[in-house]
Amino acid sequence: MRFDILTIFPEFFGALPDQGIVGHGVVSRALRSGLASVQIHDLRSFTHDRHRSVDDRPFGGGEGMVLKPQPIYEALESLHLLPRPQRPGGDEAVILLSAQGQRFTQSTARRLATLHRIVLLCGRYEGVDERVAELLCDEELSIGDYVLSGGELAAAVLLDATVRLLPGVLGHADSSRYESFGEGESTSRDTLPAAPMGASPSYADDGTGREVNLGPRPAVPRSTHASSGILDYPHYTRPAEFLGLSVPEVLSSGDHLAIRRWRRQAALAKTLANRPDLLQTAELSEDDRKYLASLGYTSPA
């Protein structure tokens, strides 16, 4: 997958092996392994005046300066990208990062991860000439309801969130599936079946390396992770006690089913506390709804 980033601050992104976002973490791993490539392009290289001006005053007056369309057009032309009306649809996208864009989400990142090429245009100053969005960009994205000094930080967020979803980048194929905002689990494929009442609790391999519950307890998700459109569950590591606060006993019990159930409920509780809006669209079972109701959550009509 190829990323091209258009910016007036190319040094923000650094260069391999140890500079900026492209020199660290999963992005660096993806670049080194050949799963992705990143090219940084200085918009000032596509200006034609001695001051290398990329901005000008807005028509109609007002505060600030606006990025001009011509340098952006020439930068895209150098990348062999035609204006949108002439550009064939397919596996590439030109994205403008701005506070006026649609909200960037995990589902957006999953969609972008299926493309072959993404061009990220970093907005700056008071904004970008609107004709850039209308004629040159496929979509306009914002990473949140706040204003940044420029689109470089937003581009870095989008780059990281998308690259980590590429097959082979993370250490485990399910790492990006079972996490906050992950794709989650479907009851038909990823739920442990319940055994008949009265049966003794036991576990068996289902042929894929995952345990199948043969005990009398209700069905629960196979994965130890929560997901399904809600936040991830709380994580703990050693020491078992820190500043007087102990790790929940169930996590040391060895009871895998109880651990899964606790993690699901803990994820629901955390989502209710921090992002209750996610519960309106999350995949919730009847048990989930009963547990949330015990916490005082009332589902909107």
Query: What does the pLDDT look like over 174-187, one tens digit per residue?
Result: 454 555 555 654 43
Which residues are within 8 A (CB) of 140 and not within 5 positions of it... i.e. 6 or more apart? 95, 96, 97, 98, 100, 101, 102, 133
Beta strand 92-103 with 139-142 is parallel
**CB neighbourhood size of 178 (10 A):** 22
Tokens 């005082």 locate to 296
pLDDT band of residue 195 (cuts 50, 70, 90) is very low
Distances (CA, A) of 277 to 72, 129, 234, 268, 272: 37, 34, 19, 12, 8
Percent of the chain whose predicted confidence (pLDDT) is above 70: 79
Distance CA 192, CA 205 (A): 11
Q: Could you read off the pLDDT of 44-99 as tens digits, one per residue? A: 999 999 999 999 999 999 889 999 999 999 999 999 998 888 887 789 999 999 99
Distance of alpha carbon 37 from the chain centroid: 18
pLDDT of residue 180: 57
Q: What is the pLDDT of residues 119-159, one digit of tens each?
A: 999 999 889 999 999 999 999 999 999 999 999 999 999 99
HSE-up of 224 (CA within 13 Å, CB side)? Answer: 12
Count how many Cα atoms sit within 13 Å of the Cα of residue 298 in the half-sphere of its side chain. 2
> What does the mean pLDDT of the chain come to?
84
Residue 171: pLDDT over 90: no
Q: What is the pLDDT of residue 14?
A: 77
| Two structure tokens written together for 189 | 């494929």
Report CA Rg, the chain: 24
Q: How would residue 18 be classed by pLDDT, with cut points 50, 70 and 90?
A: low
> 211 pairs with which residues across the strands?
205
Which band of pLDDT confidence, cut at 50, 70 and 90, is reported for residue 288?
very high
Structural domains for the chain:
2-163 (3.40.1280.10), 203-294 (1.10.1270.20)
